[in-house]
Amino acid sequence: MKKISILALHLGYGGIEKSIVGLANMLVNKYDIEIAVCYKLYEKSVFPLNPKVKVKYLNDTLVPNHKSLHDALKSKNIIKISKEGLFSTKVLYYRRKVMTNYIKNCDSDVIISTRDIFNYWLSSYGKKEVLKIGWEHNHFHDNVGYANKIVNSCRGLDYLVLVSNDLERYYSRRLFNSGCICVHIPNSIDEIPDKVSTLKNKRLVSVGRLSKEKGFVDLLEIYKRLVEHDCDWVLDIIGDGLERENLEKFISDNKLEDKVTLHGYQDKKYIDKILNKSSIYVMTSFTESFGIVLLEAMSHGLVCVAFDSAEGPREIINSGENGFLIKNRNIDAMVLKIENLIKNEKIRKEVGKKARESVMKYTSEVISKEWITLIEESDVYE
């Protein structure tokens, strides 16, 4: 049985981490799977992990101090900034040390890197006989500097797996003749729920990390305008992050406390429960390389509306058939589309049904076969 190592920053909340757990669960019945983790943020993975998957924490004492550093910078206290800055430097030093040591001494047949910095280290320190695979989840979103960093980090790898066709085409051109072959394998959805939403409940929902690129301030602006138009639907936002304080202020300033609920981080069971009693999923991300949460919402039969500035939805949604894409981040157009869906249950049901059907090509059974083909028959891509 081949052994596969997956390099992970942590196994906490995050789209990449959810994908790592999903891949490990998909492959563990065929391979010996080990996840090498830099930071132990929680006692165990926050996403359900098959007990047959081995987890090796490389550092279970030092963890990133993002919030403390953020608070120190906000306070403008030089002593606090210096203290947190030095600690952050120490954390980064040990991150490099423990991960490079793992790569050098790893006895796996295949190593899958999930971050650009891991790509560099895998390229430099991975054994010659090891199959080295990079796995890029993020879209560079016109940030050429970020794209250049990915390209340079992959030159010593055998393959780079991209989660969208758009990314595969772009990086294939950039890595032509580099020795690193680009392959498109989309992310998978864990399961298709047996029950679908009735689409009768007056609930809008959105799920994601509360960070600026997710556009939740725009979501609240959209919802505020809906309320101003006498909309009696409520809004649920599931997730947490540095933007929470700004969102709470917006909610308070616009007297939306009784209409908007910030649920914080929640597990899959909780999210599924909220999705199942919602009717419309709204995504306002500026950038989204794929969008697992979009697939999860669609699997419940929800109608999904997203700005087309997020690349993932453009690949998943065929606008007007299994969801709706709003061009140019036009907030007025988004408000009008949601209002139309609120008024028309028939359209919600027609589009929601097609949304659920379109998710079937992203099941773990389908996607696992693509990974197995890459691992077992990698020469077919050459």
Residues 187-200 have pLDDT tens digits of 998 889 999 999 99
pLDDT class for 328, splitting at 50, 70, 90?
very high
- pLDDT tens for each residue of 229-253: 999 999 999 999 889 999 999 999 9
Which residue from 152, 123, 275, 139 is spatially nearest to 203, judged by alpha carbons?
A: 275
pLDDT reported for residue 170 = 94
Higher-scoring residue by pLDDT: 291, 216: 216
Which tokens in the block code for residue 19?
A: 């994908």
Is a pLDDT exceeding 80 seen at residue 227? Answer: yes
pLDDT reported for residue 348 = 96
- Of 70-84, 113-127, 181-195, give the lowest mean pLDDT range: 70-84
Dihedral (CA of 247, 215, 359, 8) sign: negative
Is a pLDDT exceeding 80 seen at residue 77? Answer: no
pTM (2 d.p.): 0.84
Is a pLDDT exceeding 90 seen at residue 80? Answer: no
pLDDT class for 225, splitting at 50, 70, 90?
very high
pLDDT class for 380, splitting at 50, 70, 90?
very low
pLDDT class for 82, splitting at 50, 70, 90?
confident
pLDDT reported for residue 366 = 94
Range 87-104 average pLDDT: 90
Contacts 24+ apart (CB under 8 A), 108-111: 108/3, 108/4, 108/5, 108/34, 109/2, 109/3, 109/4, 110/2, 110/3, 110/4, 110/5, 110/31, 110/375, 111/4, 111/5, 111/6, 111/7
pLDDT reported for residue 146 = 94
Q: How far, in Å, CA of 296 to CA of 275, rounded? A: 8
Backbone phi, psi, residue 320, to 5°: 95, -10
pLDDT reported for residue 379 = 57
Domain made up of 203-362: CATH architecture: 3-Layer(aba) Sandwich (3.40)
pLDDT reported for residue 102 = 97
pLDDT reported for residue 378 = 66
Percent of the chain at pLDDT exceeding 70:
98
- Average confidence score pLDDT of the chain: 92
pLDDT reported for residue 73 = 76
Q: For the domain with range 3-188+363-381, which CATH number is right: 3.40.50.300, 3.40.640.10, 3.10.20.10, 3.40.50.2000?
A: 3.40.50.2000
- pLDDT tens for each residue of 14-58: 788 989 999 999 999 999 999 999 999 889 998 899 999 999 999
Q: Where in the chain is the domain with CATH 3.40.50.2000?
A: 3-188+363-381, 203-362
